[in-house]
Amino acid sequence: MPTVRFGFPHTDNPLNRTERPPSKVSMNEKATLPADNLPFAWDRIETAESLLEKLGRVEHANWPATAGWLLREAKVEQVWRFLTLEQVHENFDRIRPFLGRRLPVWEHLLEAAHELGRL
């Protein structure tokens, strides 16, 4: 008779096994990022130089996704190190799909900039 665990019979089905295969990286190990990695680049290796290089070519196909990532992850005051208000405004329709939860923030900021005569 099979043993019962958590109210369900345990069989040799791999999905019912309680042991886990060894993982390649321990949950306690931290990924090592370069010392000059940007503080908001928690999920990738990105330095100021590499980001400036990527954002220097507005016509590049990946530019909207990179700019959207910056506007989504960085603090507003950090964005201005890499982009100008005019660049954000002129390319906002291209950046918009990449903003996620930060879309209302950037819509408000651009509206306020327009009302203040900065655009």
Which helix (H) or strand (E) segment is 93 a member of? helix 92-95
Q: What is the Rg, in whole angstroms, of the alpha carbon atoms belonging to the chain?
A: 23
Q: Return the amino acid letter for 77.
A: E
Give the angle 79-81-82 at the CA atoms, nearest 5°: 75
Buried b (16+ CB within 10 A) or exposed e, 81-108: ebbeeebbbebbeebeebbeebbeebee
Pairing of strands 4-5, 8-9: antiparallel
The whole-model pTM stands at 0.70
The whole-chain average pLDDT of the chain stands at: 83
Over residues 44-79, the pLDDT tens digits come to 888 899 999 999 999 999 999 999 999 999 999 999
